[in-house]
Structure 1
């Protein structure tokens, strides 16, 4: 009986992980918009294996999205993550910016984005620190 319960629990965990990935995976044919908080960081060598500068329009996504093992083509090497290099269009108020995914954010919630300084400044001065309401994004 214990083995059966383990199988049921493992099956449910697997199915729920697929569902969670489906919510964040880039959808072909229909844009899906996500809402989260916007922060900024000083990029350097990112999880995708490239060195970036604060003047580059780049972004880090939540580690929950970037390291999700059900992404087609995902490997243990984050430098080869199929999401690396993907474009994201983020909006805040009436402003928008297109950024390139180059890193993962260890402290971000699921749909938060961590922008390079130049990309964040499209929305607000760096002194704002964190934009807690109104930032949306979609895979471009």
Structure 2
């Protein structure tokens, strides 16, 4: 092949690569590290939707029913941050929260107190993600 033919072939290859749009699918990416921003509340724990009996002193959370997905997150941990004071804590997913918004968490009283210092606060702004 003549040098010009190699050049024409290389140019055609580069042109077709640049002209073709790149499609990136987000489906299937691990969403564990995605931050959720919502409200944090507390509840008196007991038998959770994950099938385990919990105590108020356990650091557990109930995640929104929309994320519970038949219990696929049971026994996973979440990292939670109180947006108001910067305190953080780790908790185990042990329940579903039908009354929660899509990014809210319902926490055991001891977990809530570790983030807020008082149950009197009732609701705190939180960010959280699966670990």
Q: Distance in 1 between matches of 2:59 and 2:30?
A: 20
Instruction: Give the structure 2 partner of residue 5 of structure 1.
Output: none
Question: How many pairs are equivalent?
Answer: 102
1:64 to 63, 66, 74: 66
1:116 to 98, 102, 108: 108
Q: Distance in 2 between matches of 1:103 and 1:136?
A: 18
Give every structure 1 segment of 4 or more consecutive aligned residues whose post-TM-superposition deviation is greater than 3 Å. Answer: none
Q: Distance in 2 between matches of 1:61 and 1:129?
A: 17
Instruction: Give the structure 1 partner of residue 55 of structure 2.
Output: 53
- Gapped runs of 5+ residues in structure 1? 1-18, 68-77
Q: CA RMSD in A?
A: 1.9
2:31 to 27, 50, 68: 27
- Gapped runs of 5+ residues in structure 2? 1-25
Instruction: Provide Cα deviations, 1:61-96, integer angstroms capped at 9, x if missing partner.
Output: 0111103xxxxxxxxxx4xx2210000000013210
Q: Give the secondary structure class of the aligned counterpart of 2:39.
A: strand
Q: Distance in 1 between matches of 2:108 and 2:30?
A: 22
Q: Distance in 2 between matches of 1:26 and 1:55?
A: 31
Q: Distance in 2 between matches of 1:26 and 1:42?
A: 31
Q: Distance in 2 between matches of 1:130 and 1:26?
A: 29
Q: Which has the larger radius of gyration?
A: 2
Q: Give the secondary structure class of the aligned counterpart of 1:110.
A: coil
Instruction: Give the structure 2 partner of residue 128 of structure 1.
Output: 121
